[in-house]
Amino acid sequence: MPFTVQELENIANASLDYHWNTPEVRSQTLQDKPLLKALKGMEKTFPGGKEEITVGVKGEYTTTIQGFEHDETVTYANPANMKRARYPWKLIHAGISVTMHELAKDGISITDTATGKGEKNHTDREKTAIANLMADKNEDMMEGWDRGMNTMFWGDGSADAQLVPGITSFVLDDPTSAIVVGGIDQSANAWWRNRARLAMTASTAADQNVVQKMQYDWRQLRRYGGRPNLVLAGSDFLDWVEQELRAKGNYTLEGWNSKSKTDASIADISFKGVNFQYDPTLDDMSKAKYCYALDTRHIYPMAIEGESEKTHNPARPHDKYVFYRAKTSMLGLICRQRNAQQVWSIA
């Protein structure tokens, strides 16, 4: 027999829902950010400047050799081939706010009400709080910062002129087009182009068309001293490369059978010793069929000294009990050798 209305009301008045009392609020949408991780590890500093970071580059040579005998006249060259690649640096901000009222409801007081420093939990706070409000807001700022920086570093700068142009501003789908990249016309300077091979045929895995094209391109990337050390791919691209490997039976004994269990998976893919990494951001950008091979010796952020991920506790307005937290960076992203970078995609 089902409960009566009176019985249900009595149960509601006699019991509470169970709240798992842990300070962690489990996020459901965290993703790996391998590009962001790699670029953070390569960051360099500079002292400041007007608007741009410039690097000297050259791709042409004037001097050559000349044979001579006895007192024959020889010639002398006067090389003038230097160019400056130019990249803007920007001021980046992320911040949160919280009111004194919100914190009081969560059982938290602020010791220094001018800057919002000094959080103090009230006695018996655990009886009313099921999550730490301030910790969650701080976590939101930190993850929001990483997401924003990751999106910025993958972008081409067209979405917001006040953000730093990212990887796709100089690793282009069409490196032969008449576009100025870093202040240099790539159409007039063949040496100032990344490599690109798009819409590769991916119809018959046994043909290994994609793997063979990658083998050729990798050799060309090394032609001028490039050493790709970061390969980032979308899910569709990785899936197809795995299909090509499976089609040729590239399994090890451990792959077929491991610890008395049949393992149908294929080992993580590498190329010339460099691991392929799945970057979920490419899927988010509708580039699941893309793959980028980068030489991070020549691509890195540059931040003004002392201004990388700087934390702030701004003073509150005198007429509002609102507290603030913020992070800022002053940085740019440069590429000093484009012909060491590659983009691939499958059809």
% residues pLDDT > 90 (the chain): 67
Among the residue ranges 64-73, 240-249, 304-313, the one predicted with the least confidence is 240-249
pTM: 0.87
pLDDT for residue 180 is more than 70 = yes
Among the residue ranges 16-30, 67-81, 259-273, 305-319, the one predicted with the least confidence is 16-30
% residues pLDDT > 70 (the chain): 90
When pLDDT is averaged across residues 73-81 and rounded to a whole number, the result is 96
> CA nearest 127: which of 156, 150, 153, 106?
106
Phi, psi of 145 (to 5 degrees): -60, -50
Summary mean pLDDT of the chain: 89
Q: Cα 160 to chain center, whole Å? A: 17
* pLDDT tens by residue, 95-145: 999 888 888 877 788 777 777 777 777 776 666 666 677 788 888 999 999
- Euclidean distance between CA atoms 18 and 336, whole angstroms: 57
Determine the pLDDT at residue 203: 93
- Euclidean distance between CA atoms 102 and 241, whole angstroms: 51
Burial of residue 72 (CB within 10 Å: 0-12, 13-18, 19+) is: exposed
The CATH number, out of the four listed (3.90.1690, 3.30.379, 1.20.120, 1.20.58), of the domain defined by the range 41-58+78-346? 3.90.1690
- Euclidean distance between CA atoms 186 and 179, whole angstroms: 6
When pLDDT is averaged across residues 288-294 and rounded to a whole number, the result is 98
pLDDT for residue 310 is more than 80 = yes
Strand order across the beta sheet in which 274-278 lies: 195-200, 342-346, 290-294, 230-233, 274-278, 270-271
Determine the pLDDT at residue 105: 79
- Euclidean distance between CA atoms 335 and 184, whole angstroms: 12
Determine the pLDDT at residue 80: 95
Determine the pLDDT at residue 13: 72
Here the tokens at position 214 are: 């990658």
Give Cα separations from 182 to 157, 220, 295 (angstroms).
12, 22, 17
Spans of all domains in the chain: 41-58+78-346
Here the tokens at position 40 are: 């953070």
Query: What residue has token string 């990212």?
Result: 166
pLDDT for residue 151 is more than 90 = yes
What is the SS3 assignment for 161? coil
When pLDDT is averaged across residues 208-213 and rounded to a whole number, the result is 95
* pLDDT tens by residue, 313-346: 898 888 998 889 999 999 999 999 999 999 999 9
With contact defined as beta carbons under 8 Å apart, do 238 and 269 qualify?
yes
* pLDDT tens by residue, 259-276: 666 667 777 889 889 999
With contact defined as beta carbons under 8 Å apart, do 203 and 219 qualify?
no
- Euclidean distance between CA atoms 177 and 193, whole angstroms: 10
Determine the pLDDT at residue 252: 54
- Euclidean distance between CA atoms 150 and 147, whole angstroms: 5
| The Cα angle at residue 334 between residues 235 and 234, in degrees rounded to 5 | 0
Give Cα separations from 92 to 51, 215, 317, 331, 332 (angstroms).
14, 39, 22, 8, 10
pLDDT for residue 70 is more than 80 = yes
Pairing of strands 230-233, 290-294: antiparallel
Determine the pLDDT at residue 262: 65
- Euclidean distance between CA atoms 258 and 247, whole angstroms: 21
17 vs 277, which has greater pLDDT?
Answer: 277
With contact defined as beta carbons under 8 Å apart, do 232 and 154 qualify?
no
R_g over Cα of the chain: 28
